Structure 1
């Protein structure tokens, strides 16, 4: 089994004002299905009101993330699944519920995690 990251940036989620309640209902339903299926690891959205902090090895902190990287925002779900095909199927279900395409990535296996 591998862990898959299913995600989207905030800008991808363009939903008409009257449709937000349905998006919330549908996306929560898919997450509930993943939990019931035993494949849900964790998920959520980046709190865009809390600015990122860059923490150095010496413990010093500066406001903001890597200056050269695009901002990290949007929603994320991590599922543990037996195959890439299963991950694609779950990503499609999440895309339908959220009304936007989802990016799919697989985590490298690490026996310590």
Structure 2
């Protein structure tokens, strides 16, 4: 089984405030289904209220991010699935629930992780 990251940036979710409770309920329902199916690994949303820091190899910390991840925010989940086709189906379910496109990425297999 392969682990897949399904995610979206916060800016992709352009939903009226009145619709957010329905979107939250729909997306939570899909996550409950993934848990029931035994494919859910973990998920959540990036807390935009806490600034990221860079941790250097020597342990030193500085404020900020890698330039290419400056806009990393939004929601994500990791599912462990038998194929990319199945991952596409779960991503489509989440896209419908969240009312925004989802990005699908496959984790590289590492027997130590």
Give the deviation of 1:68 after TM superposition: 4.7
- The Cα RMSD (Å) is 0.9
> Distance between the aligned counterparts of 1:44 and 1:79, measured in 2?
12
Match of 1:22 in 2: 22
Find the aligned partners of 1:38 and 1:81 in 2 and give their Cα distance: 9
**Counterpart of 2:103?**
103
Q: CA deviation at 1:57?
A: 0.5
Q: CA deviation at 1:9?
A: 0.4
Pairs aligned (count):
113
CA distance in 2, matches of 1:84, 1:68: 26
Residue ranges of structure 2 left out of the alignment (5+ in a row): none
Deviation at 1:94, TM superposition (A): 0.4
**1:75 maps to what in 2?**
75
- SS where residue 29 of structure 1 aligns? helix
- 4+ residue segments displaced more than 6 Å: none
- Alpha-carbon distance between aligned partners in 2 of 1:85 and 1:68, rounded to the nearest angstrom: 28
Equivalent residues in 2 for 1:3-82 (5 A)? 3-82=3-82
Return the alpha-carbon distance in structure 2 between the equivalents of residues 13 and 105 of structure 1: 19
Secondary structure of 1:91's aligned partner: helix
Quote the Cα distance in structure 2 between the aligned partners of 1:8 and 1:35.
20
